[in-house]
Chain A
Amino acid sequence: MKNIVLIVLVSFLSINGFAQEKKSKNKKVEFAVGGNCEMCQKRIEKAAFSVKGVKSANWHVDHKDIHLIIDETKCSITDVQNAIASAGHDAGKIKTKDEVYNDLHGCCKYERL
Chain B
Amino acid sequence: MYKKIAVLLLLISSSIYAQNSEIKGKIVDQNNIPILGANIFWQSTSIGTTSDENGLFTIKKSPETNSLLISYIGFNTQKIEVLDSKELNVKLIEVTTLNEVTVSKTLKSTRNSYTAVTNLQTMGQKELLKAACCNLSESFSTNPSIDVNFSDAVTGNKQIKMLGLTSPYILMTEENIPAIRGASQAYGLSFVPGTWVESIQITKGAGSVINGYESISGQINYEILKPINDIPFFVNAYGSMDGRFELNTHFNQKYSDKLSSTLFIHGNSRQTKNDMNNDGFLDNPIGKQVNILNRWQYNDVEKGIVSFFNVRYMKDDKQSGQVAFNPNIDKFTTNAWGSEIATEKVELSNKTGYVFPDMPYQSIGFQNSFQMNKQDSYFGLNQYNINQKSYYSNLIFNSIISNTKNKFATGINFTYDDYNENVVLNFAKDFSRIDNSVGAFFEYTYDNLDNFSLVAGARVDNHNRLGTFVTPRLHMRYNPWKNSVLRASVGRGKRAANIFAENQQLFASSRSFAILNNDGKLYGLNPEIAWNYGMSFSQSFKVFGMDSEIALDYYVTDFQNQAVVDLDYSPQQVLFYNLKGKSFANSLQAEFSIEPIKHLNVKSAYKFYDVQTQYTTEQLQRALQAKHRFFTNVAFETHIKDKGQQWKFDVTYNWLGEQRLPNTASNLPQYRLEEYATSFSVFNAQVTRTFSSVFEVYVGGENIGNYRQNNAIVGVDNPFGAYFDSSMVYGPIFGQMYYAGLRFKIK
Contact (A32, B44) CB under 8 Å given A9-B8, A93-B65: yes
Q: Does A69 contact B (CB under 8 A)?
A: yes
The count of chain B contact residues (Cβ–Cβ below 8 Å) is: 21
Chain A 34-55, CB-CB to B under 8 Å as 1, else 0, gives: 0000000010011001001011
A69–B359 touching, CB < 8 Å: yes
11 additional A-B pairs beyond A49-B449, A55-B403, A113-B44, beta carbons within 8 Å, are A1-B1, A5-B5, A9-B8, A13-B12, A31-B46, A32-B44, A49-B403, A55-B359, A65-B46, A69-B358, A93-B64
Contact indicator B450/A55 (Cβ below 8 Å): no
From known contacts A49-B403, A55-B403, infer whether A2 and B449 are also in contact, taking CB-CB under 8 Å: no
Once the chains are docked, how many angstroms separate the CA of A31 from the CA of B359?
A: 18
Residue A26 at the chain B interface, CB threshold 8 Å: yes
Residue contact B359 to A46, C-beta cutoff 8 Å = no
- Least CB distance, B71 to chain A, in whole angstroms: 12
Q: Which of B447-491 contact A (CB under 8 A)?
A: 449-450
**B361 within 8 A of partner (CB):** yes
A28 within 8 A of B: yes
Q: A46-B450, A55-B403, A56-B403 are in contact. Are A26 and B358 (CB under 8 A)?
A: yes
> Contact mask B1-31 → A, CB, 8 Å, 1/0?
1000100100010000000000000000000
Contact call A56/B361, Cβ cutoff below 8 A: yes
Give the shortest distance, in Å, between A2 (CB) and chain B (any CB): 6
Query: Per-residue CB proximity of B344-372 to A under 8 Å, as 1/0?
Result: 00000000000000111100000000000
Known: A31-B45, A93-B65. A49 touches B405 (CB 8 A): yes
Contact A92 B450 (CB under 8 A): no
Judge whether A113 and B405 touch: CB under 8 Å: no
- Report if B400 contacts A (CB, 8 A): yes
A79: Cβ under 8 A from any B Cβ: no
Q: Interface size (A, Cβ < 8 Å)?
A: 24
A contact residues around B45 at 8 Å (CB): 31-32, 92
List residues of A (7-32) whose CB comes within 8 Å of B's CBs: 9, 13, 26, 28, 30-32
CB-defined contacts of A55 to chain B, threshold 8 Å: 359, 361, 400, 402-404
Nearest chain A residue, comparing its CB with the CB of B448:
A46
- How long is the Cα–Cα vector from A55 to B406 in the complex, in angstroms? 10
Sampled A-B contacts (10; CB under 8 Å)? A5-B5, A9-B8, A26-B359, A30-B46, A46-B450, A55-B404, A56-B360, A69-B358, A92-B44, A92-B45
Task: Quote the shortest CB–CB distance from A95 to chain B (angstroms).
Answer: 9
> Is B449 touching A42 in the complex (CB atoms < 8 A)?
yes
What residues make up the interface of A, taking CB atoms closer than 8 Å to B? 1-2, 5, 9, 13, 26, 28, 30-32, 42, 45-46, 49, 52, 54-57, 65, 69, 92-93, 113
A49 to B401, CA, bound (A): 12
B43 at the interface (CB under 8 A from A): yes
Across the interface, do A45 and B359 meet the contact criterion of CB distance under 8 Å? no
Measured between C-beta atoms, what is the minimum distance from B450 to chain A in Å? 5
C-alpha spacing A62/B311, complex, angstroms: 42
Contacts of A13 in B (CB 8 A): 12
Q: Are A56 and B400 in contact (CB under 8 A)?
A: yes
Which residue from chain A places its CB closest to the CB of B5 in the assembled complex? A5
What sequence of 0s and 1s flags, for each residue 421-439 of chain B, a beta carbon within 8 Å of any chain A beta carbon?
0000000000000000000
Q: Please indicate the chain A residues that have their CB under 8 angstroms from the CB of B1 in the complex.
A: 1-2, 5
Q: Mark B397-417, 1 if CB is under 8 A from A, else 0.
A: 000101111000000000000
Bound Cα distance from A13 to B12, whole angstroms: 10
For residue B562, give the distance in angstroms from its CB to the closest CB of chain A.
Answer: 45
Provide the bound-state CA to CA distance between A34 and B361, in Å: 25
For B449, the chain A residues whose CB sits under 8 A away are: 42, 45-46, 49
Minimum distance in angstroms from B188 CB to a CB of chain A: 39
Query: B450 and A54: CB pair below 8 A?
Result: no
Nearest-CB residue, chain A, relative to B356: A26
Chain A: minimal CB distance from B11 (Å): 11
- Residues from chain B with a CB closer than 8 A to the CB of A49 are 403, 405, 449
A46-B450, A93-B44 known; A9 vs B402 contact (CB < 8 Å): no
Q: Which of A45, A52, A56, A113 contacts B43 (CB under 8 A)? A: A113
Complex interface: chain A residues within 8 A of B402 (CB): 52, 55
Q: Tell me the smallest distance from the CB of B63 to a CB of chain A, in Å.
A: 11
> In this complex, what residue of B is CB-closest to A66?
B46
- A92 and B43 alpha carbons, distance in the complex (Å): 8
Query: Which 3 A/B pairs are nearest by Cβ-Cβ distance?
Result: A30-B46, A26-B358, A56-B404
- In Å, the complex CA distance between A65 and B43 comes to 12
User: Once the chains bind, are A57 and B404 in contact (CB under 8 Å)?
Assistant: yes
Residues of B within 8 A of A42 (CB): 449-450
Chain A residue numbers with a CB within 8 Å of B403 are 49, 54-57
Which residues of the partner chain A approach B361 to less than 8 Å between Cβ atoms? 55-56, 69
Within 8 Å CB of B8, what residues of A? Answer: 9
Which of A9, A26, A56 contacts B5, CB < 8 Å? Answer: A9
Expressed in whole angstroms, the Cα–Cα distance for A16 and B284 within the complex equals: 80
A residues in contact with B64, CB < 8 Å: 93
Q: Which of B351-397 contact A (CB under 8 A)?
A: 358-361
| Residue numbers in B under 8 Å from A65 (CB-CB) | 46
Residues in A with CB closer than 8 Å to B359 are 26, 55, 69
Closest B residue to A45 by beta carbon equals B449
What residues on B are CB-neighbors of A45 within 8 Å?
449
